Amino acid sequence: MTSGNNGASTPEDDDPFGYLYADGQANGAQPPSGGGYGYPNSVNRVRAVGQRQYGQPTAPTAPYGQAPQQQGAYGQPNAHYAAPETLPGGAPTGRQQTQGGGGRGRGPNTKGLLIGAIAVVAAVVIGIGVAMLGGDSDDDKAGDGGATPTASQSAEPSTSPSASKAAQTELPKIDAKALNLAPGVTTASDVAGASADGGIYVTGLNNVGASVTWTVDGIPETGVYTLFAGYSVPGKDQSMTLTINGKVFGSKLNLGNFAGASEGDYAKGWTQTYAYPSLNKGSNTISLSCQDGDQCDVLLDQLWLKAGQVKR
């Protein structure tokens, strides 16, 4: 075999990329038309980044050893490829902007979310403020006496529905000198300390059969009331019989030495006691008498009534 240049068509010296160089072109090297060695036929499918149309069918794969079918001649447009400028609206000229985005891409509407969150917080704060104001108002009403006393509040005892109505009515009070006095019972003012008008009190009750009677009118409702008696004892406990509308009430009316006076000291013995009789609406008769077994050394000052069961 002779040495030398046998031409670009000699197989052993054939450079598949010879057409790229000046000496190869001088020797007649031509680019392959069917995609031969070193020149893959996929070259005519190379596209710029971002121009590929995804979702379009791709070229079928040829059997091994055979060249895949060309989708178009070299340098001709691909039937499945569309240039951006042919799309509706033309090729994009720059970065897309959202409406009112000020050059920023579409993203979460953080401004709207922030405004919504602030509105929710404001509504909660307003609701709490209204609830607190309402609670204060209720407390004020309770403090003014508009609310019913609860278990933790002190309230005077009452066993009758008439107590609330009777409390609104000025119930009677009488000085002992105005009572109906039985024979032998008299008035006096020698002992100081009596609360009745003029310091006048009833004496002479220390005899069996002695009594005083009070016919009281103006009881607003039938129910339980508190009967108070103002009196003095000579430094020792006494007791008398209480009669309500002709019936004896309880065992005895206790007239104790609650003032702690020394024996015989009437001036220091002024005090008061009470009982809880049931009275009828309208007029009632109340009597205090000295009966067998009673201790009646008592100076009687006043009698008065209050609604319900109270102690003062």
The predicted model gives 52-70 an average pLDDT of 52
Encoding tokens for residue 15? 């450079």
The percent of residues in the chain predicted with pLDDT above 90, rounded, is 44
pLDDT value at position 199?
95
- Termini Cα distance of the chain: 149
Per residue in 266-289, pLDDT tens?
Answer: 999 999 999 999 999 999 999 999
pLDDT value at position 123?
84
CB atoms within 10 A of CB 8: 18
Q: From residue 284, how far is each of 157, 218, 243, 245 by CA, in Å?
A: 23, 9, 11, 6
Per residue in 75-132, pLDDT tens?
Answer: 555 555 555 555 555 555 544 444 444 444 455 567 777 888 888 888 888 888 777 7
| Adjacent-strand bridge partners of 42 | none
pTM here is 0.49
- DSSP 8-class letter at 151: T
Q: Measuring CA to CA, which residue among 188, 260, 191, 196 is closest to residue 230? A: 196
